[in-house]
Amino acid sequence: MLYLKGCPKCRGDMYLEKDSYGVFRQCLQCGMVQDATAAVKTAAVGLRASKAAVA
């Protein structure tokens, strides 16, 4: 799966990968590796914060 403009470092495209250690996302442009479970938690916190700001 591709995450267009999903890299927090360079705003490049990331893809989902899995190995013996778990699931992670890796940037196609800069090579940054991000744990996929940490990325989901970060997105959920951001979503809660944006909902609180609207309310």
Q: Token pair 């893809």 is at which residue?
A: 15
Which domain covers residue 16, as residue numbers? 2-54
* pLDDT digit string, tens, across residues 5-27: 989 999 999 999 998 988 999 99
- Calculate the alpha carbon distances from 55 to 24, 44, 47 in Å: 33, 17, 13
Share of the chain above pLDDT 70, in %: 67
Phi, then psi, of 11 in degrees rounded to 5: 65, 25
Please give the average per-residue pLDDT across 43-49, as a whole number: 52
**What three-state secondary structure class fits 28?**
coil
The total of structural domains in the chain comes to 1
Helices (H), 1-55: 36-54
Token pair, residue 14, equals 């990331």
